[in-house]
Structure formats: structure tokens, C-alpha cells
A and B are shown apart, each in its own frame.
Chain A
Amino acid sequence: MMERTWRNWYLVPYGIWLVLFVIAPIVFLLYESFLDMDGHWTLANYEKVLTPIYLKMMAYSFWYAFLITLVSLLIGYPTAYWLTKTKHKQLWLLLLILPMWVNLLLKVYAFLGLFGTYGLANALLQTLGIGARQLLFTDFSFVFVSVYIFIPFMVLPIFNALEELPPSLIDAARDLGASAWTTFRRVVFPLTLSGVKAGCQAVFIPALSLFMITRLVAGNRVITLGTAIEQHFLVTQDWGMGATIAVVLMAAMAVIVVLTGTGRKEGSR
């Protein structure tokens, strides 16, 4: 009995943390979302979210998050597959993770330099004879930089799923007459789907509420929900509207998590 009560005490620090910094903010956010700018109860914020301006913004957010996730997956899966086959796995893995140790803002500023009018990228294009062009503040640079930031989050879960796949299953599929491609389609991919789901979640959800990259790299030409929240809180001071968008975003994320599953129920185990 004594031991048990003691063990419960260990939970206290995290419990306090949970209440102060997880539950309370969400409650405040919900509360705030039902207030107008003068502090009166209202549903107007939620009505506003459903107007074309915000719906369009939401569609943009989802579209870009989808694009970023898709490109990350298309690059990440083959990378993870190749990683499992290399001899110096740990070294390559380290190289992959290394950029994650650099501050995000720093990386984004680095791209501002690279993609600027007189940056390295344009210099390269010029020597290739393609000619300099506007790179910064385009959809391309936004997706490119986002993918660069998010790719380790896609590669790692897929790499783990591939590592857990027993090699004898691949032998078995080949043995039963499957070509390399059929083996991938019918055995490898379905059995690493859990890793793909986990990777997609790890990229899609944060990509949905990006705001710093949209402002710095895309020059606020791409207005996503993340940008909108930031603008409402910091510029227009319409906290109610900002909170409402945040609540809608959280709901959307919850739906995505439920739809894609927790990623560990089936698959390799």
C-alpha cells in the first residue's frame, strides 16, 4: 500500500504540467473561440470560419500540407528502403537526422539566402543557361523548404517499419513467383504501411499549421490557417477568431489521426 501511494506521487509533476499547459490552454482556447472582440458570447466566429475566405484558406492549408506530405513520402520511402540496405546504416541515419539539430529559423534563413535573387540557386540556373528567375516567395520554394524540414520525420518511421520486416518474407514472395515489383506491392508496402501512416501523420499535421515558413519563404503569398491564426492574434488582435481557427484545426487533426489509425494495430506484428 505504502509503495503504491508513493508511486502515485511521481505523477504529480507531470499532472501539474498536464493541467497547466495542456488542458487549461485548450479550455481557454475553446472559451475564447466563443467570444467576440468585445468579450461577449457569440457564435459569429464559427459562422465566419464557414465563409468562402476561410474555407478557401482551409482548402489551401490542406492542399499544401497534402503536397508536402506526398513529396516527403515519394522521397522518404525510397530513402528509407535504401537506408536499410546500406552497410553503414548508423552513419547515414545520423547524417539524415543531423539537420534536425539545427535551429529551424536558421535553416529557413539559409534558404532565403540560397533562393534569393542573387543567391546560389539563381547563380547555378544562370550558368546552366536557364536564366535567373524568381524563386523566393513562390509555391515551389514553400513546398521545397517544408519538405526539407519534414523529411526526417517521414523517413524514420518508414525505416523502422522496413527494419522490422523479416527478410524471409521477401524471399518467400520471390520464391512463390513474384517479381521484385510485385513483391514490393503485395508484401513490402502493405507490411510497412504502419510506418507510412506514422510518417504521414508526423508530416501532415505540423504542415497544416505552418506559419513561419509561409511568411519567410512564401512571403505570405500562401496564406494557410497557421498564418491566419498568427495574424489574428498578433496583428488584428481578434483573439476569438484566432482561437476558433485553432479549434477547427485541432478537430481536423483529430479526425486525421483517427482515420489513419494509430498505425500499430496491424501490420508487421
Chain B
Amino acid sequence: MNGEEIIRFERVTKEYDGMTVLDDVSFAIERGKFYTLLGPSGCGKTTILRLIAGFIEPTQGTIYFHGKPIQNVPPNKRQVNTVFQDYALFPHLDVFENVAFGLRVKKMKEADIRRKVSEALQFVNLEGYERRRIQEMSGGQRQRVAIARAIVNEPEVLLLDEPLSALDLKLRTEMQYELRELQRRLGITFIFVTHDQEEALAMSDYIFVLNKGKIQQFGTPKEIYDEPVNRFVADFIGESNILPGRMIEDFLVEFAGQRFVCVDRGFAPNEPVDVVIRPEDLELAAPEAGQIVIRVDSLLFRGVHYEICGYDENGNEWLVHSTKKAEVGEIVGLRFEPEAIHVMRAEREDGGE
């Protein structure tokens, strides 16, 4: 982190009726980056967004904007704009007036309003839709209107609250590209909230993984995917094989009844750990050539690969993504590189489902 800091949370806690939804959270947001708050529902990600927007105030702690605390600054005086989950477009106004809303509130000149609105609509590929009613727009188009309505105000930070969740898969993938592209062109900070880990990995510069009101991990998508810090992150960020194990010494770990060479170090001798191996890092091999031997229990064709599920002799479940096919009931070997083994400190009490 070396860019200019825009937003900082310092030990922020938020409680609703005695329920802690955000628990002593601290982090900083830099200018011009694409951030994602990722987590299951109720993890506190939307709460962070609403705190930044100013719809709610923290119970404890301070939020800084350009180094100044922004408690008691009402939402209409903050340099941030939000794209809401249900878009929250005004049904009594047409597309043009929806986008112009913020500018009209600022009492901008009519000619400037017209120019800026048409620029913003162009930005989201909606020229010519000015006089359409909101009810006549499709889900994807409404989404774009919502984005145009927010960016026309030239905010320093754009907050996006699960804006893609209402769209179908194909449109969602398209919009992921568009949003990422939009962020690059505008150069402003995006803070994007989602529960979809693929979306988060595809779009973000940085990801905050949240669970139960706490930040579990912060990092680039690659860091989070490759080096999850705990079982929850590993589980949430993608389908994984997570096995309990023991760190014998640096670069040597024991799990599934065997010892394996790995690339991790810095653990206490014999420290209990969780070991993560991604299904796509496992390679099918002949039983005698395999480091682990499993009996195939089920097989699903997923298009790009087969999803194979099997059990080893200790009863551990193994998930394999392979382009090669295996038969149900077949005994196969699994091979993997030392780099495929990710060792995490065991945090059973924080474990996911």
C-alpha cells in the first residue's frame, strides 16, 4: 500500500440492538483502486458500506476521510456515491431525471446538467434512453442507470452494494468486465460488496474477506486464493480440500497419515495446522504412482472439467477437478506439487460451515 489514503477505519464497531455486526475493524482504502468486501450474508460487509456512505454511525471507533473524522457529516455532504443493491432508481422520474438528480440538487446550470448527464449515459452505453421510464428498462439497463446516476456526481469513492446479484449469469459476467473497465477509465476508488467469490477474484485489486463482523484476510485476489490464512477463507474463496494436519518442522507437514514436503515455514514444531489443497492442483495418476490413493465415489461433468469426489483409506474426502475421466468405484492415485500444499494455522473456532 503506497498510494494516497482516502478512507480509514480505526477500531470501528457497530452494534444493532446489542448484536455486534462489525467488531473492532481497522483498515485503509487508497485512491484509484478496486476494493471488494467479500463474505457471506450477515458478515458486516454492507454495514461497512453504509458506514462510509453515512447512513449509519459507528457505535465505537472513528472513520476518517482524507485524515479527517467524518462522524456527524450527513450522507448528502460526503464525497461518495452509492449504487444500491435494488438500484433504488426513482420510479417517478425518467432516465435523464434520475441521472440528473444529484446535479439538480446542487443547482447546476441546465446546460451543464444536460452535458454531464449525456456524458454519463454515454459512459454506460445508454445514449438515446434519456426519456425512457424506469419501468421500461431491463435489469441490466437499470443497473447502468444506477451507475450513471452515481458517477455523474464525480465522487471520490463509488460504493457498490451487490449490484450484480439481481442479474442472470451471462449478464453478470458481462457487467463484471464493464465495471472493471469503468473503474480503470474513471480512475476513482471502487468499493464493491459481494458474496460471490468468483466475482471478487475477477474484478478486484484488493479483497477484504469478512466473516462474523471481522476482517479475516486482506490481500490481492491471488494472495487470498493461494495463501488463505484460515479455514474460513480457504473454504469461502473456492471449493477446497481442507485437512487437519501437523507441522513437523519447516518445509515438512503431516496430514492424511503421511508426511509431505511443502514450501511453508515459520510454525512451531508439531503445531496443529489446516492444510488446503485446491481441487485443480490435484492430478489423477495410476494408484501406484499416487501420493494419495482414493476410491472414486461420484463424478460430475462440469463442462471445463470433471468434478471427482472420492475417499482415501483414512476416510478423508477428496475433491478433484480433472480433464481426465475416472469411473465410479475405481481406485486412483492423486499427485500434487509441494507448492500446491497451503498450510494455515488451525483456527477451528472460526471455521466456516
Taking beta carbons and an 8 Å cutoff, which residues of A are in contact with B? 166, 168-169, 171-179, 182, 186-187, 190-191, 266-269
Determine if A267 and B92 form an interchain contact, defined as CB atoms under 8 angstroms apart: yes
Known: A171-B75, A171-B82, A182-B105. A176 touches B55 (CB 8 A): no
What is the CA–CA distance of A255 and B154 in the complex, to the nearest angstrom?
A: 48
Shortest B89–chain A CB gap in Å is 8
User: Are A175's CB and B91's CB within 8 A?
Assistant: no
Q: Which residues of B contact A177 (CB under 8 A)?
A: 76-77, 102, 105-106, 153
A residues within 8 A CB of B55? 171, 174-175
**Closest chain A residue, CB of each to CB of B152:** A176
Q: Does residue B197 face the partner (Cβ distance < 8 Å to A)? A: no
Number of A-B pairs whose CB atoms are under 8 Å? 66
Q: Which chain B residue lies CB-closest to A187? A: B90
Q: Give B258-302 interface residues, CB cut-off 8 Å to A.
A: none
Given A166-B86, A168-B84, are A175 and B75 neighbors across the interface (CB < 8 Å)? yes
Residues in B whose Cβ lies below 8 Å from that of A175: 53, 55, 75-76, 80-82, 150
Contact of B102 among A168, A176, A191, A267 (CB under 8 A): A176
* B14, chain A: closest CB distance, angstroms: 16
Most B C-beta atoms less than 10 A away, residue of A172, A175, A186: A175
15 extra interface residue pairs, beta carbon distance < 8 Å, beyond A176-B76, A177-B77: A168-B85, A169-B88, A171-B55, A171-B88, A172-B84, A172-B90, A175-B80, A175-B150, A176-B105, A177-B76, A178-B76, A178-B101, A186-B101, A191-B90, A269-B91
- Distance to closest chain B CB from A245 (angstroms): 39
The 3 closest A-B pairs by CB, nearest first: A176-B102, A172-B88, A168-B88
A182 to B89, CA, bound (A): 16
The interface of chain B, by Cβ under 8 A from chain A, is: 53-55, 74-77, 80-82, 84-86, 88-92, 101-102, 105-106, 149-150, 153
Cβ contacts A to B, 26 pairs, < 8 Å: A166-B86, A166-B88, A171-B55, A171-B82, A171-B88, A172-B84, A173-B90, A174-B75, A175-B53, A175-B75, A175-B76, A175-B80, A175-B81, A175-B82, A176-B81, A176-B101, A176-B150, A176-B153, A177-B106, A178-B76, A178-B101, A179-B74, A186-B101, A190-B92, A266-B92, A269-B91
Give chain A residues whose Cβ lies under 8 Å from the Cβ of B86: 166, 168
CA distance A8 to B13 in the complex (A): 64
Contacts of A174 in B (CB 8 A): 54-55, 74-76
Residue in chain A with minimal CB distance to B155: A175
**Shortest Cβ gap from A263 to chain B (Å):** 14
Cα–Cα distance between A190 and B101 once the two chains are bound (Å): 14
Of the residues A173, A178, A186, A191, contact of B91 by C-beta under 8 Å: A191
What chain A residues lie within 8 Å of B76 (beta carbons)? Answer: 174-179
Q: Is there contact, CB below 8 Å, between A176 and B149?
A: yes
Q: Which single residue of chain B is at the shortest CB-CB distance from A267? A: B92
Please report the C-alpha to C-alpha distance between residue A166 and residue B89 in the assembled complex, in whole angstroms.
10
| A186 contacts across to B, CB distance below 8 A | 101, 105
Question: A175 vs B105: C-alpha distance in the bound complex, in angstroms?
Answer: 11
Report the bound CA distance from A267 to B93 in whole Å: 10
- Chain B contacts of A169 at CB under 8 A? 88, 90
Which of A171, A173, A269 touches B101 (beta carbons < 8 Å)? A173
User: CA A190 – CA B29 in complex, angstroms?
Assistant: 38
Contacts of B102 in A (CB 8 A): 176-177
User: A173 to B55, alpha carbons, bound, how many Å?
Assistant: 11
Question: In the assembly, what is the distance between CA of A173 and CA of B101, in Å?
Answer: 8
CA–CA, A268 to B90, complex, Å?
A: 9
B120 to chain A, nearest CB (A): 13
The smallest C-beta distance from B125 to any residue of chain A, in angstroms, reads 22
Complex Cα spacing A149 to B168, Å: 52
Looking across the interface, which residue of chain A has its beta carbon closest to that of B159? A175
CB-CB under 8 A from A178, the residues of chain B are 76, 101, 105
Docked pose: A177 CA to B103 CA in angstroms: 9
Closest chain B residue, CB of each to CB of A179: B76
| Chain B residues closer than 8 Å to A173, beta-carbon distance | 90, 101
The answer to whether A171 touches B84 (Cβ under 8 A) is yes
How far apart sit A177 and B53, CA to CA, in the bound complex (Å)? 11
A228 to B242 Cα, complex, angstroms: 88
Shortest Cβ gap from A183 to chain B (Å): 8
Q: Are A268 and B91 in contact (CB under 8 A)?
A: yes
Taken together as a complex, chains A and B put the C-alpha atoms of A171 and B53 apart, in Å, by 9
CA distance A202 to B338 in the complex (A): 78
The CA-CA distance from A175 to B55 in the complex, in Å, is 8
Could you say which residues of chain A place their CB within 8 Å of the CB of B90?
Answer: 169, 172-173, 187, 191
A166 — which chain B residues lie within 8 A by C-beta? 86, 88
* B residues near A267, Cβ cutoff 8 Å: 91-92
Cα A78 to Cα B144 in complex, Å, equals 35
Residues of A within 8 Å of B106, CB to CB, are 177
Give Cα distance in the complex from A191 to B84, angstroms: 19
Bound CA–CA A84/B149 (angstroms): 28
Which chain A residues lie closer than 8 Å to B153 at the CB level?
Answer: 176-177
In the complex, what's the smallest C-beta–C-beta distance from B47 to chain A, in angstroms?
14
- In the assembled complex, the CB of B173 is this many whole angstroms from the nearest CB of chain A, namely 25
Which of B76, B77, B89 has the most chain A CB atoms inside 10 A of its CB? B76
Instruction: Tell me the bound Cα distance from A168 to B101 in angstroms.
Output: 15
In the complex, which of the residues A166, A172, A174 has the most CB atoms of chain B within 10 Å of its own CB atom?
A: A172
Separation in Å of the A173 CB from the closest CB of chain B?
7
Q: Report the minimal beta-carbon distance from B112 to chain A, rounded to whole angstroms.
A: 15
How far apart are the CA atoms of A52 and B82 in the complex, in Å? Answer: 61
Q: Contacts of A168 on B, CB cut-off 8 Å? A: 84-86, 88
